[in-house]
Structure 1
Amino acid sequence: MAVDTDVAGMAILQKAGAIINVLEREGESSAAQISEAVGEPVSSTYRLLSTMMALGWVDTGSKRGRYRLGVDVLRIGGMLEDRLDVRSVASPILAELRDATRNSTFLCLLRHDNAVCVERIGGRDVQSLAMRLGDSLPLYSGAAPRALLSFLPNEELRATLDRFEARRRNGEAIPSEGSILREIEIAREVGYTVSDEDVTPGIASIGAPIYNHRGELEGGISVSGLRDRVLGPDVDTAEKVKRSAAQISRALGKLEDAQ
């Protein structure tokens, strides 16, 4: 079942890449034109376009019913090769981590004030559907998003916290800055983050940051499963997650003293 899910997820990403290629080559296009170019039914092309719009990869065109590349693709394009490398490097290590813990593993990348799931390897025992490929969570929710938030460079962290405060004033239910900063302080001390049933009842997760060859924060990984199997006294999930994160970072070229 997990293998089938992963294959389907990769197929979706490939179709999304094909759509981006069409829009890059042809410019603004209708769903019918895109459908013909990528060889997919119009109905499924509409669904994928909707998802890509939610991610900021596609925008509506100058005329009704037409689509064009989203502004985020300009930013993504410059980093696409690196990010595909991150996924290819991380996937086998996340698979090993899944096998070692029997829990689901995730790779998330930063997008604005959210973490987007770009890799998910389903657990051997219980699979939570709270985070699927392409889904996102705010940086204060879930272990991998918290890993991204907690290990942001201080200047970027301050800017993010300021945006959170502005959103609070607009009525959004975001944890207080004090509580976020306390979690960040603990995370930086122990090297990992914890999500204890704040996303899905009964489900806990542990996350850690990964770094690229420049020592820059590249993403966050996590393990998620039944609370007792993640946070129980007889498991060492946190150490396994930290080791896997360090292994991915080394594979990306991070030097031991670079961060």
Structure 2
Amino acid sequence: MTNKNKTVVRSMDILNLFIEHTELTFQEIIELSEIPKTSVYRMLKSLEEMEFLEKGPDAKYRLGMLFLKFGHLVSSRLDVRKIAYPIMKDLHNDVKEAVNLVVRDGEEAIYIEKIDEKQKVRLYTAVGRKSPLYAGACPRAIFSFLPEHEVKDYLDSVELKSYANGTITDREKLLVKIKQEKEQGYTISHSELENHTSAVAAPIYNHLGEVVAGLSIAGIEANYQGENVDRFARKLKKATAEISRQLGYEQL
């Protein structure tokens, strides 16, 4: 075991103490962890700086705000997936195309659920895969429906890279696309993340009216033309409206 790995393991040993203890003094951490005093001191300083732990005015250590942030993220993602899954299943059985669920993960979207049992041609998407927010209908189902200042800040901070023949890498063209998608209430992509594939997607909102996820129907490009797009969009928006409703969203 390398020194780096040993430090990580020992730091986790310290954090695990707080599963059973709400607060601990420096000396109590030393006694419970059986780690040398100098090592405990060094690790506590690092954990405090990273907000994993916080030290109160009484000199006792407690779990820091970072755990609240992570806990909220995990909870919200589990809630979305749990509510969405049966609705995704019904939608998949209806359209026989892949149905994907994504949530935001920083500057990317991460796929947290996928159902494609009845789809004849399997796509590149997989649970755990990440994609940039600006590329592909499902990630853009989140991105296009963010507040304008968030869209601008994001575009100011990232380089628009090409992933397939249809990836939009021109900022002005992307802004026009986002405006159009916001007006129509759904997103559509052709060969943006993988050539010869298409998707139609729509946003999912929480009880605060914030977009928290995107749901898509995806498949080979030939199936996403003309009336099929309208049909998929209609069924998709019905599904996302129901998921949003179960998350507490009340549409005005």
TM-score, structure 2 length as denominator? 0.69
8 A contact 1:126–1:225 mirrored in 2: no
Tell me how far 1:23 sits from its aligned partner. Answer: 9.4
Gap change, CA 1:183 and 1:234, over 3 Å in 2: closer
Letter of the 1:26 counterpart: D
8 A contact 1:105–1:123 mirrored in 2: no
1:214 corresponds in structure 2 to: 208
Moved more, 182-191 or 223-232: 223-232
Please tell me whether residue 254 in structure 1 is matched to residue 249 in structure 2: yes
1:26 corresponds in structure 2 to: 13
Note the alpha carbon deviations across 1:119-168, whole angstroms, 9 max, x for none.
1111413343411000011112111101111001122112111112xx36
Tell me how far 1:111 sits from its aligned partner. Answer: 1.1
2:134 corresponds in structure 1 to: 140
Q: Which runs of 5+ in 1 are unaligned?
A: 1-21, 30-61, 63-68
Aligned length: 193
Gap change, CA 1:73 and 1:232, over 3 Å in 2: farther
Gap change, CA 1:23 and 1:249, over 3 Å in 2: farther
Tell me how far 1:25 sits from its aligned partner. Answer: 6.1
Tell me how far 1:234 sits from its aligned partner. Answer: 4.7
Please give the residue correspondences for 1:6-155 in structure 2 after superposition, counting only pairs within 5 Å: 26-27=13-14, 75-155=69-149
Q: 2:192 aligns with which of 198, 208, 221?
A: 198
1:231 corresponds in structure 2 to: 225
Q: Tell me how far apart the structure 2 counterparts of residues 70 and 210 of structure 1 sit (CA, whole Å).
A: 31
Q: What secondary structure does 1:231 align onto?
A: coil
Structure 1 residue runs of 4 or more that deviate by more than 4 Å after TM superposition: 22-25, 69-74
TM-score, structure 1 length as denominator? 0.67
Q: Tell me how far apart the structure 1 counterparts of residues 241 and 69 of structure 2 sit (CA, whole Å).
A: 27
Q: Tell me how far apart the structure 2 counterparts of residues 138 and 209 of structure 1 sit (CA, whole Å).
A: 16
Q: What secondary structure does 1:256 align onto?
A: coil
Q: Tell me how far apart the structure 1 counterparts of residues 95 and 112 of structure 2 sit (CA, whole Å).
A: 20
Gap change, CA 1:27 and 1:156, over 3 Å in 2: farther
Gap change, CA 1:200 and 1:211, over 3 Å in 2: same
Gap change, CA 1:224 and 1:23, over 3 Å in 2: farther
Gap change, CA 1:78 and 1:163, over 3 Å in 2: same
Tell me how far 1:243 sits from its aligned partner. Answer: 1.0
Tell me how far 1:75 sits from its aligned partner. Answer: 3.1
8 A contact 2:123–2:219 mirrored in 1: no
Q: Tell me how far apart the structure 1 counterparts of residues 10 and 235 of structure 2 sit (CA, whole Å).
A: 42
